[in-house]
Amino acid sequence: MKNNKTIDELKIEVESCSRCKLSTTRKKIVFGEGSSTPSIMFIGEGPGKNEDLQGRPFIGRSGELLTRIIVNGMGISRDEVFITNIVKCRPTVDMKMIKDRAPDPSELKACTPFLLEQLEILKPKVIVTLGSPATKFILKTTIGITKMRGIWGEYMGIPVMPTFHPSYVLRNGGDKSPLKKNVWEDIKKVMILLNMEIPE
């Protein structure tokens, strides 16, 4: 079905959402941000503490790593891509709002229609899924990210490149981790597909 909404109209709709229990603990909804005609859409798991406070995706430590990959690695700005998550409010383990967790099935069921609408409206040329939950949802698989990363998949005709979530890279050695090299290898595949110049 054709979606006649604009991305701004969808954002207004999402901003008053109380479809799931995460609406009771969030500070701000994190709709996502970036180009309205993105070549690449990055999809992560869910907002963390900083994102929840500021209402913007990927602005904490893992966001810094993703931004470096986009800006220093790919040579483009964050404004040229679209960055979002499979759920738009922060999933936490308890009401103390200390630890993050993956979204549960009921939260995914309630929120992912918004992500599908974002994809329908924005029509990215390539999707990059960051981590297992986003990869499992977009590619309808139960296989974890370690086996899926670096292998092209497809969502509604759009090529999908799964790679590790930046926070997983940071938890496992950060800049020195071989996982970061893995992410860069995956990103280079995306750049090749989009005919982007790869730095030496």
Point out which residues bind ligand SF4 (CB under 6 A): 14, 17-20, 22-23, 29, 87-89, 107, 110-111
Q: Closest Cα partner for 148 from 101, 159, 139, 157? A: 139
Q: Looking up tokens 């860069």, which residue turns up?
A: 184
Please say which residue, 29 or 74, places its beta carbon nearer to ligand SF4. 29
Please say which residue, 79 or 104, places its beta carbon nearer to ligand SF4. 104
Question: In whole angstroms, what is the distance from residue 77 CA to residue 72 CA?
Answer: 9
Min. distance of Cβ 86 from ligand SF4 in angstroms? Answer: 9
Min. distance of Cβ 67 from ligand SF4 in angstroms? Answer: 24
Please say which residue, 17 or 158, places its beta carbon nearer to ligand SF4. 17
Min. distance of Cβ 19 from ligand SF4 in angstroms? Answer: 4
Q: Collect all residues with Cβ–Cβ distance below 8 Å to 111 and sequence separation of at least 6.
A: 17, 19, 20, 22, 86, 87, 88, 89, 103
Min. distance of Cβ 173 from ligand SF4 in angstroms? Answer: 31
Burial of 118 (0-12, 13-18, 19+ CB in 10 A): buried
